Each structure stands twice: as structure tokens, then as C-alpha cells.
Amino acid sequence: MKNLKHIFTTFGLLLSLTIEAQVSEATDTVAPQQPADTIVLHNVSDSTALQPADSTALQQADTVAQLSLQRSDTSKVYERHVVTRKRAQVTTRETNANAGNFSGDEPDVADLRSINEGTMVGFGAYRMKDTYLSPMAYQGYGYRYMSERMRFISSDYKYSRQNIVNVDLSSTLNGAENANFLSAFVDYSFGYHYRFLPDPFLKILVGGSARGMFGMVYNTRNGNNPMTIHGDIDLNLSVIGIYEFRVKNYPFAVRYQLESPFAGALFSPVYNQSYYEIFSLGNTAEIFKLASIGNKFAMRNYLTLDFPVSNMTLRVGYFGMLYTTYINNLDRYIISNNVMLGFVKEYIAFGGREMRRRNLFNSAYY
């Protein structure tokens, strides 16, 4: 009996040592992963990890997608890791509701989508012609202000919205340098794009936009009919290409965008018709016209480069516009080329019911 008991004891000891060795080997072969309660956000200028307020609410993950890309450029290897995590919605809502962070039917902090906002000012050359005021072409210089916003509008990150505000002022001279065109225009456009990702560093956005423009041109020499008004509403086709790259470990992003209208409506007086006749006498026949490629052609080009400087992200670029119409026997065109400079910021905006989630951020007011 003593021998039998000794045999069983030895066998049990060997079995426990074998199990411990297998567990240790399996643990050593597991690759380290990102913490389950970390959301990795990628920006042009920096990569920031946003820690949510309640880490216990993020204990489970339904899906984890990790993309790793290596690219060689002049013997430099660039690595990019994009990690996305989708939490178990039931656990997140229940935990946050119990903790009083926000109501159980509101989305997780991982669903917050940031806004990319760029503000630029520019200076450039202008060439204008408006036969309602003068048969001659005028050339000079002008200033431009541009504000742009882009953000995702769908949870699958396929659709985005873009808003652009443009204001430009210019002063141009005729060939004899004895008369000026003083012009002022403001336009607003909003568009929607569908996003393609043919390459992790390249985004192609295809869609359309609606645009409204209002402005005026004043001729300093004319005594009769010294001013004309422009008013347009357009539907545009829009294409955007965004490419990210690095130079000596500094991130850059270059963007090109082309917009061109295919349909719309505009205001235009008839040749030799005064604005007194239009607004006082009510002669409004044929002053509103449908616009198409046959009587109007316009094209707007955006070329920008984003790069970090210290704690800022700068945006430099070029804006070019070609606008020409031939309606009511009036020949009009505006050509401008502007060099642009400004800043870019990325932020998360929320309000209304979403203000219940303000405890997720450090507010200077709330």
C-alpha cells in the first residue's frame, strides 16, 4: 500500500508540472494587445488616446479590427496601425446608466465623430468682365476668406458632409487705368460625399453639393447703371482626393478638390435694362434664368497641404475659380487665382441632450 500511494503521489506531481508548463508556454506566445478601454484616434498632426470616464463600462469588445501597413520610402519604413473597437452595447449602456454618466439610450463615447475645420485667408490676381457695365476686361488683385468644415454623418464612416463659406473682395482696373471695378461676393455651399479607400493612405470622396452665391460689381466711372448684381443657385458635382504621407517622420496631408455645376438658376438683367425698371417699374421679364452647361460654365479648384508646426496644424494652398455666363446678351466672367494660408483644428462638438455626456471631457465652463 505504501508503494501504491507513493506511485499515485508521484504521478499527480508530474501531471501538475506538465499543465503549468503548457499554460506558461501559451501565455508567452500571446502578442500584446491594446487595452480594451482605449480608443485610438489618428490625426494629421498627432495620435491621441482618449480615455473614457468609466473603464468598467468597456470590459467587452464585440469586434477588433487591426490593420498594419509597412511602406518603404527612401529606405524609411513607415508603420501605421489603426485599431477600432466596438463595445458590447448592452453592457455599456447598463453600466453608464447605473453610474449616472448618461441615459442608457445614448451612444457610447466611441460613436462621437470629430469635426475637421479649416480657416484660411488668401490674396491673388483677378480678371473680370461684365458687358452690362463695360465692354472692356478689368484686371487687378483681391482678398479671400474661406471657412471649411468636414465630418462623418454615418456610423459606418462612409458618408461625410462638407460646408464651405467663401468671401472675396477685389479691385480691378481697365486697360486705360481710368476706371475701377469694385466687387464683393459671398457664397455658401454644402455637400455630401461617399468615401472610397483604395489605399490606407489615400481617400477618394465622390458626391455633390448645393451652392448659393450673391454679390455685386460697381464701376467707378459709370454715371448711369454703375452697379450690377449677381445671384446664383447651383447643383454641383464634387470630387476630393486626400493623400497622407511622411517626410522624416513628420505627417503631411495633401488634398485636391474639383467642383463644377451642372444645373441651377441665376439672376441677370437684360442688356441696357436699368435696375430702376426692374425694382420700381416691375419689368421683371427674363431676369431669372435656368442655368446649364449651355449658358454657364464654372469650376472651382482647391489644392491644400496640411502639416504640423509645434502645437498647430497649418494649411497652405491654392484656390482657383473660373466663372463665366452668357445670358440676356450679357457676357460675364470672373477668373481668380489665390494663394491661401490658415489653420486647421480637429474637435468634437455636442449639445442638447448630448450635454449629459459633458463629464467625459474637461470643460472650462460646465
182-186, 211-215, 282-286, 305-309: the lowest-pLDDT one: 282-286
Nearest C-alpha neighbor of 201 from the set 256, 249, 245: 245
pLDDT of 183 higher than 60: yes
Give, in degrees to the nearest 5, the angle at Cα 176 between 171 and 179: 40
The distance in angstroms from the start CA to the end CA of the chain is 78
Output the pTM of the full model.
0.69
Nearest C-alpha neighbor of 31 from the set 66, 61, 1, 3: 66
Q: Which residue has the higher pLDDT, 68 or 230?
A: 230
Backbone angles phi, psi at 162, to 5 degrees: -130, 130
Residue 232 is predicted with a pLDDT of 95
116-125, 288-297, 315-324: the lowest-pLDDT one: 288-297
Cell triple for 277: 425698371
- Residues 6 or more apart from 175 whose CB is under 8 A from it? 136, 137
- Residues 6 or more apart from 230 whose CB is under 8 A from it? 185, 213, 214, 215, 216, 217, 266, 267, 332
Contact 172, 127 (CB under 8 A): yes
Rg (C-alpha) for the chain, rounded Å, is 31
Give, in degrees to the nearest 5, the angle at Cα 146 between 141 and 152: 155
DSSP secondary structure letters along 43-104: -SS-EEEE--S-GGGG--EEEEEEEEEEEEETTEEEEEEEEEEEE-HHHHHHHHHHHTSS-T
Residue 272 is predicted with a pLDDT of 84
> What's the mean per-residue pLDDT of the chain?
77
Q: What is the pLDDT of residues 322-365, one digit of tens each?
A: 999 999 999 999 999 999 999 999 988 777 766 666 666 676 66
Contact 248, 201 (CB under 8 A): no
For the segment 116-138, the average pLDDT, to the nearest whole number, is: 95
